[in-house]
A and B are shown apart, each in its own frame.
Chain A
């Protein structure tokens, strides 16, 4: 189990999307701008990277380093297209913030252009944006907790159960511990056995998935009077074909995983089948996030 402060940050990173955190004040240039133009923009606005766009599509990026090289070689009058990096890694605005955190860990870049579904530039995300957003959210949640702790005349129902568990690659010895705790908690709350079974299966399938197929990750359980919500997130490698992964019988498991009794390609479809709500997002090299809900007072 993670300590409470780490848990809080993990939960924030799951809950926020890149769109909520990025800056939308974008300084971008077109292909016919010069390096000198970019230098002026950087200087006047205190920024260190400028995307090059063609009809709002990102075609390159100029960094402070590119400007310094151009300055050294007296080439500031040349077009940006001669100096820009064209292999630009962008992030989708719909992705969870945790994916951006993974992207900054996995790449040396100090900023990522953010694009919408039409692949148009809509923002920029930097580590500073992330830090500020996390601090803002922490402070907002602190206010909420203080409000919750304030004396109240209204009798309280069952308290909220909120835990995060770290899962390690190939650690089948401990995989399933979170689900066992979930089961005990639901039993304690008097939830009907059939619903407990569904909730435990979702949790267990997602735990095993992280252990068997990812580089490791976390599973967060949230239980209140009405629902059990699971957020399972891993640090990659991501699923290249989500439709295939959601089909029964599709599996990338190796022989060792199969020898443990897993890897029949039923995990994700089964987790979806027994959930009342199910959402999955994945980014190659970034990770996969699954959110699943089982309502505790709704029989099927």
Chain B
């Protein structure tokens, strides 16, 4: 799937995006609020959905080579996160959609013919 389409589906707002981010491919989606879970996940080019807003979220995403992070269930996020995302070069967005709803919407996208 294309990251841009997923971002649109969740009405997510960009916090930090590199050039040509619209072309980024996503291999799988992983939703969790436990960093330990993210670190044991096996997927590649993952889109990470989480409601955590600590700098460790971005750092962890970089460690596992995630394609992007969307912080869900948030109408705003701490200002320092944009800097962390820039340093780690991880595309970062936020969306007010709940984690469950975000998973359902993305799941339907995958099922669509």
Contact (A270, B33) CB under 8 Å given A176-B63, A261-B52: no
Give residues 26-58 of B contacting A (CB, 8 Å). 33-37, 39-40, 50, 52, 54-57
- Of B34, B56, B62, the contact of A264 (CB 8 Å cutoff): B34
Q: How far is the CB of B31 from chain A (nearest CB, A)?
A: 13
What's the Cα separation between A1 and B59 when bound, in Å? 19
- The reply to whether B63 and A261 contact each other, CB–CB distance below 8 Å, is no
- The reply to whether A266 and B62 contact each other, CB–CB distance below 8 Å, is no
What's the Cα separation between A150 and B55 when bound, in Å? 45
- The reply to whether A260 and B56 contact each other, CB–CB distance below 8 Å, is yes
Q: Does A262 contact B (CB under 8 A)?
A: yes
List the one stretch of A9-17, A21-29, A198-206, A289-297 in contact with chain B: A198-206
**Which residues of A have CB within 8 Å of B40?**
266, 270, 273
The interface size of chain B toward A, counting residues with CB under 8 Å, comes to: 21
Q: Does B60 contact A (CB under 8 A)?
A: yes
The interface size of chain A toward B, counting residues with CB under 8 Å, comes to: 25
Q: Does B64 contact A (CB under 8 A)?
A: yes
- The reply to whether B62 and A180 contact each other, CB–CB distance below 8 Å, is yes
Q: How far is the CB of A250 from chain B (nearest CB, A)?
A: 12
- The reply to whether A193 and B65 contact each other, CB–CB distance below 8 Å, is yes
Q: Does B23 contact A (CB under 8 A)?
A: no
- The reply to whether B63 and A200 contact each other, CB–CB distance below 8 Å, is yes
**Which residues of A have CB within 8 Å of B54?**
172, 260-261
- Chain A residue with the shortest CB-CB distance to B65: A197
What's the Cα separation between A137 and B9 when bound, in Å? 61
**Which residues of A have CB within 8 Å of B101?**
none
Q: Does A111 contact B (CB under 8 A)?
A: no
**Which residues of A have CB within 8 Å of B33?**
261
- Chain A residue with the shortest CB-CB distance to B42: A197
Q: List, sorted by A's number, 21 A–B pairs whose CB atoms are closer than 8 Å.
A: A172-B54, A172-B55, A172-B56, A176-B56, A193-B65, A200-B63, A200-B64, A201-B39, A201-B63, A204-B59, A260-B56, A261-B34, A261-B50, A261-B52, A261-B54, A261-B57, A262-B35, A262-B36, A262-B56, A263-B36, A264-B36
- Interface class of chain B by DSSP: helix
Q: Does B22 contact A (CB under 8 A)?
A: no
Query: Chain A, 189-211, contact with B by CB distance < 8 Å: what is the 0/1 string?
Result: 00001001100110011001000
Report which B residues bind A (CB closer than 8 A). 33-37, 39-40, 50, 52, 54-57, 59-60, 62-65, 87-88
- Scoring B37, B40, B87, B88 by chain A CB atoms within 10 A of each residue's CB, the highest score goes to B40
What's the Cα separation between A179 and B60 when bound, in Å? 10
- Of B36, B59, B65, B88, the contact of A270 (CB 8 Å cutoff): B36
Query: Chain A, 52-63, contact with B by CB distance < 8 Å: what is the 0/1 string?
Result: 000000000000
- The reply to whether B65 and A266 contact each other, CB–CB distance below 8 Å, is no
- The reply to whether A266 and B88 contact each other, CB–CB distance below 8 Å, is no
What's the Cα separation between A163 and B57 when bound, in Å? 25
**Which residues of B have CB within 8 Å of A262?**
34-36, 56
- The reply to whether A201 and B64 contact each other, CB–CB distance below 8 Å, is yes
Q: Does A97 contact B (CB under 8 A)?
A: no
Q: Does A183 contact B (CB under 8 A)?
A: yes
A193-B65, A197-B64, A266-B37 known; 9 new pairs, CB 8 Å cut-off, are: A172-B55, A180-B59, A180-B63, A200-B64, A204-B59, A261-B36, A261-B60, A262-B56, A263-B36
Q: Does A255 contact B (CB under 8 A)?
A: no
Query: Chain A, 262-275, contact with B by CB distance < 8 Å: what is the 0/1 string?
Result: 11111100100100
What's the Cα separation between A261 and B64 when bound, in Å? 16
What's the Cα separation between A179 and B40 when bound, in Å? 16
Q: Does A134 contact B (CB under 8 A)?
A: no
What's the Cα separation between A135 and B55 when bound, in Å? 41
- Of A173, A204, A270, A273, the contact of B60 (CB 8 Å cutoff): A204
Q: Does A175 contact B (CB under 8 A)?
A: yes
A-B pairs with lowest CB-CB distance, top 6:
A264-B36, A261-B35, A266-B36, A176-B59, A200-B63, A204-B63
